[in-house]
Structure 1
Amino acid sequence: MEFCPKCKSLMIYQGDKLVCRKCGYEKEADDSEELVIKVERNKEDVPVIEGENLKTLPTTKAICPACGHNEAFWWLRQLRAADESEVRFFRCTKCGKTWREYD
C-alpha cells in the first residue's frame, strides 16, 4: 500500500504503475513489493454440516418442505453482518433435505 506524495491519497495499481485517483500522480511500481489480491466469497456458498457429526445435533419439530416429515436436526450460522441475526439451518431426519430460515 502506498500513498500519493502530493495529496496523501491511496494509490492504486494500473498495469505496471501506481496512480493516484485524486490528483493523477503516477509512479512506476516497485517490483519488490508484494501485491495481495482479496477474493470475496460468493454469498450463495453456504457452509453445511456433513458426515457423522449430524447425529449429535439437536432435533426440533419442523415440517420438511420435501417430504412433510415433522422432525429435523437444526444448527445456527452467522452468515450476514454481525449486527444481524443468525440463520437457522434444518435437515430432515427422514429424507436429509436441508433448508434455512431467516428472521
Structure 2
Amino acid sequence: MKFCPKCEIRLKKTDSGLKCTKCNYVEGGNIESTKQILEEQEVSEFNVLEENEGSETLPTIKIDCEKCGHDEAVWWMLQTRSADEPTTQFYRCSKCNHTWRNYA
C-alpha cells in the first residue's frame, strides 16, 4: 500500500499506475496524458449546447449581452461543481450567440 507524498491519502490503482484521488498525483504513469485529458474535459464542459441547439425550447430572460449589448438571451442551468455547491447558470445571446456563465 502506497500513500500520496503531497496529501497522504492512499493511492488507487489505475491503468497508468497509482493515482491520488484528491490532488491527482500520479506515480509510475504518464503525467502529460492525464493533464491533457483534464484540459479537454474543461473545454468541453462549456460547450454543452451547440450554437443553435435548443434556442427554440429554452426559456428567455432579459439580460444585457456582454459582447453586443442585446437585451435578450436564452438560459439553462447545470451542476458543474460538487453537489454542495450551487448550479452554474449559462446564458446565450439571442442575437450574436455569445455564451457566458454565472456561478450564482
Q: TM-score range by the shorter chain?
A: 0.5 to 0.7
Tell me what 1:87 maps to. Answer: 88
**Runs of 5+ in structure 2 lacking a partner?**
20-33
Which of 1 and 2 has greater Rg? 1
Output the TM-score relative to the length of structure 1. 0.59
Distance 1:89 1:60, change over 3 A: same
The answer on 1:41 being equivalent to 2:38 is: yes
- Count how many residue pairs are aligned between Structure 1 and Structure 2: 74
Say which structure is richer in helix.
2
Show structure 1 runs of 5+ residues with no match.
1-9, 13-20, 22-33
Encode CA deviations 1:15-70: one digit per residue, 9 max, x unaligned.
Answer: xxxxxx9xxxxxxxxxxxx9524746337422421143232111111110111111
Distance 1:41 1:59 in 2: 32
Equivalent pairs: percent with the same residue? Answer: 43
Whole-angstrom distance in 2 between the partners of 1:71 and 1:44: 27
| Aligned-CA RMSD value | 2.7
TM-score, scaled relative to structure 2: 0.58
User: Where in structure 1 do 4 or more consecutive aligned residues deviate above 4 Å?
Assistant: none
